[in-house]
Amino acid sequence: ARGHLGENAKGESALAEGYPRDAYVTDDGQLIPEGWRASRHKRQVALRKRKLKDIAIPAKLLRKGVNVIAIEIVRAPYHRVVDELKGIGTDAKSEKEVKTRGCLYYLGWNTCEITSVQLAASGGEGLVPNTGRPAGLQVWNSNLLAGDFDADFGDPSEPVGPITLAGVRNGSFTGKVVVGSPEAIKALKVIPGELKADGATINASHVRIRYAVPWGTEYKGLGYGLGGQRSAYPRDAVLLGTLLERPLKEFPRSP
């Protein structure tokens, strides 16, 4: 299924259809601010939402075992109004705002992102979804640059892979793995092994293990941009925002 793409949009250089000018500017031609202030301009913000609905997946394409749906995001070009209003901010303190953001162009929203995906079936017989935390202790890989929250869980259909560290000579670098459970985790212990690459080895004694725990209230609400759009978490999730040198005797179960 395709949507919002021209017939000739093919290959790596393909672009989606551009958004209209009104998706970028207010009724009086000013840039639409980001964050909660965007909610004042509901008509314009609504133009940024594109949908593909009621797409049927033929039963003949399904197979026993794991089935995967691939979704590709194709970037839409920014409207020329972004260039026309370069060097201009979104409020009276325009000059300070432009200096703070460090860029002449105001790119206050993404033209290539997915905000929600829903897959539904007429019945659950024979289906084993991966949309909930599995029973028991679970270990999974997580992108080093991604924040981890207490409500996260790994895809049960994905195997755990090795932790790969990328770095340069004479530096300190980090990798991570995530552990979760529907119950409290007690007496957690992590034992590192040797690091090996290209025939060289770093002894495990040079590896330091730290343990992530919630800290403060950062990201607790997870409301962001475009008029207070909410996250996909079923409850307020808490960021695991600080690292301990030793594990807790018990990592409590989240609410």
Q: Where in the chain are the domains?
A: 1-128, 130-255
The pTM assigned to this predicted structure is: 0.68
CB 23 within 8 A of CB 47: yes
pLDDT tops 60 at residue 220: no
Which of 86-100, 110-124, 203-217 shows the lowest mean pLDDT across its residues? 86-100
Give the Cα-Cα-Cα angle 108, 113, 115 (nearest 5 degrees): 100
Question: What type of residue sits at position 45?
Answer: V
The predicted structure's pLDDT at residue 91: 64
The predicted structure's pLDDT at residue 254: 83
229 vs 80, residue with greater confidence: 80
How confident is the model over 42-58, as a mean pLDDT?
92
Which of 24-33, 100-109, 237-246 shows the lowest mean pLDDT across its residues? 100-109
The predicted structure's pLDDT at residue 130: 85
8-17, 33-42, 94-103, 231-240: which has the highest mean pLDDT? Answer: 8-17
How confident is the model over 197-225, as a mean pLDDT?
77
The predicted structure's pLDDT at residue 52: 92
